Amino acid sequence: MFKKILKWTGLILLFIIGGLIVIIALNQNKTFDAPYPVIKATTDSAVLARGKYLVYGPAHCADCHAKPGTEELVNNGAEVDLPGGRDFILPIGHVYAKNITPDKETGLGNISDETIARALRYGVGHDNRAIFDFMPFYNISDADLTAIISYIRTIRPVKNKVPENKMNMLGMAVKAFLIKPVGPTGTPPRFVQPDTTVDYGRYMAMSVANCAGCHTDRDLKTGAFIGEPFAGGFKMESVIDPQHYECVSPNITPDKETGRIYGWTETMFLNRMRQGKISKHSPMAWGPFSRMSDLELKAIYKFLQTVKPVHNKIEQTVYEKKS
């Protein structure tokens, strides 16, 4: 009798597991709908200048979409090509940065402005599938979105076929059940006037430079935020030796005891940002951020003074992985 129970239990479990695998497989190409923003690229020189500044500066597109091995060039301010290919090794598998050059076969050359805008604002790709939540541009203004798309239309086309993302079993399950498009929290502004106010600092930190994206703890399987905003604790692999080192983002809230920049003056903050990368392992886009304007850095500094203080002690920011 006991053997029969075991047998039937095993068969039922096998049936359930098999059914789950089938459901996961059937949901790998799940599609979503999202509106197409009314965004059109332009050749206006002022718009292109703003786009170039964002792509190689605060929006740090080059940090992910530049060719692997060009990290130091990006850090030093070179206007490198953006053919993608960087491999993000995550618990769910391998996610590759896409080719965003205007190449018609392997890049964005045959993808419309509105489709690119939809991907950036709503997280829905040209194939209508959800994009992993890596880019922070859901609430970016129409003007800045137009500037970015306009500028990348002008860069050198590079033929580089980037591999499809390679999900492990966990990644396939996450993709089937948890990954959904992320859109704007409200109606994105048409234009945001650059100045040194807290509001502009919030816009830069939350919608362009993505300070919140790394200085808030996240679930690496889904990208979901699981920590207090700007309180640090997000674990990321070293950019130069991911096999042996990992980094932890510091707490940049104004907590008196554990906030990394508590007590810093505006001048101290600007000087540190201008200094650029100190730790070779740091995944922060120090190079692009070091070239941000004084106006925008001052605005971000002012905004960071207003965020909720969170007591979260980060002992150190670079760790050698245990073998």
Two tokens, residue 109: 């050359």
Considering the domain boundaries, does residue 187 fall inside one? no
Contact 247, 283 (CB under 8 A): yes
184-206: average pLDDT: 96
Q: Same structural domain for residues 82 and 121?
A: yes
**At 24, is the pLDDT very low, low, confident or very high (cuts 50, 70, 90)?**
confident
Considering the domain boundaries, does residue 21 fall inside one? no
Measured CA to CA, the distance from residue 240 to residue 103 in angstroms comes to: 28
The yes-or-no verdict on residue 33 having pLDDT over 80 is: yes
Q: What is the pLDDT of residues 82-138, one digit of tens each?
A: 999 999 888 899 999 999 999 999 999 999 999 999 999 999 999 999 988 888 899
pLDDT of residue 162: 97
Considering the domain boundaries, does residue 38 fall inside one? no
Work out the burial of residue 30: count CB atoms within 10 Å of its CB; fewer than 13 is exposed, 13-18 middle, 19 or more buried: middle
Q: Give the global pTM.
A: 0.91
H/E element, 199: helix 198-203
Question: Last residue of some domain: 177, 206, 237?
Answer: 177
**At 178, is the pLDDT very low, low, confident or very high (cuts 50, 70, 90)?**
confident
Considering the domain boundaries, does residue 37 fall inside one? no
Q: Same structural domain for residues 280 and 209?
A: yes
Q: Same structural domain for residues 152 and 214?
A: no
**At 1, is the pLDDT very low, low, confident or very high (cuts 50, 70, 90)?**
low
Q: Pick from 266, 251, 237, 248: which is nearest to 310 by CA? A: 251
pLDDT of residue 220: 82
Between 141-145, 200-204, 235-239, 260-264, the lowest mean confidence (pLDDT) is in 235-239
pLDDT of residue 21: 78
65-88: average pLDDT: 92
In Å, the largest CA–CA distance within the chain is 82
69-90: average pLDDT: 91
Domain count, the chain: 2
The yes-or-no verdict on residue 6 having pLDDT over 70 is: no
pLDDT of residue 267: 97
Measured CA to CA, the distance from residue 236 to residue 242 in angstroms comes to: 9
34-52: average pLDDT: 97
Work out the burial of residue 257: count CB atoms within 10 Å of its CB; fewer than 13 is exposed, 13-18 middle, 19 or more buried: exposed
For 290, phi then psi, to 5°, come to -70, -20
Q: Same structural domain for residues 58 and 173?
A: yes
Residue in the structure block whose two tokens are 């886009």: 285
Measured CA to CA, the distance from residue 251 to residue 173 in angstroms comes to: 32
Residue in the structure block whose two tokens are 């920049």: 261
H/E element, 90: strand 87-90
The yes-or-no verdict on residue 281 having pLDDT over 80 is: yes
Q: Same structural domain for residues 112 and 62?
A: yes
pLDDT of residue 10: 61
Measured CA to CA, the distance from residue 139 to residue 201 in angstroms comes to: 14
Measured CA to CA, the distance from residue 287 to residue 312 in angstroms comes to: 27
Q: Which range marks the domain in which residue 53 is found? A: 45-177
Considering the domain boundaries, does residue 3 fall inside one? no
The yes-or-no verdict on residue 8 having pLDDT over 60 is: no
Considering the domain boundaries, does residue 268 fall inside one? yes
Q: Same structural domain for residues 134 and 172?
A: yes
The yes-or-no verdict on residue 285 having pLDDT over 80 is: yes
Contact 36, 110 (CB under 8 A): no
Amino acid making up residue 29: N
Q: Same structural domain for residues 205 and 173?
A: no
**Bridge partners of residue 218, in order along the sequence:** 225
Two tokens, residue 269: 């903050």
Considering the domain boundaries, does residue 39 fall inside one? no
pLDDT of residue 183: 92
The yes-or-no verdict on residue 4 having pLDDT over 70 is: no
Q: Same structural domain for residues 166 and 52?
A: yes
Question: Last residue of some domain: 117, 143, 177?
Answer: 177
Handedness of CA 294, 299, 300, 302 (dihedral sign): positive
**At 15, is the pLDDT very low, low, confident or very high (cuts 50, 70, 90)?**
low
The yes-or-no verdict on residue 14 having pLDDT over 70 is: no
Residue 295, classed as helix, strand or coil, is helix
H/E element, 89: strand 87-90
Q: Same structural domain for residues 111 and 212?
A: no
Two tokens, residue 115: 């489709």
Considering the domain boundaries, does residue 233 fall inside one? yes
Contact 39, 117 (CB under 8 A): yes
pLDDT of residue 322: 79
| Residue 39 vs residues 60, 118, 141, 149, 169: alpha-carbon distances, Å | 21, 9, 11, 9, 37
Measured CA to CA, the distance from residue 58 to residue 78 in angstroms comes to: 15
Two tokens, residue 230: 């700007």
Q: Same structural domain for residues 219 and 294?
A: yes
Amino acid making up residue 99: N
Question: Last residue of some domain: 177, 208, 228?
Answer: 177
Q: Same structural domain for residues 112 and 144?
A: yes
The yes-or-no verdict on residue 157 having pLDDT over 90 is: yes
The yes-or-no verdict on residue 145 having pLDDT over 90 is: yes
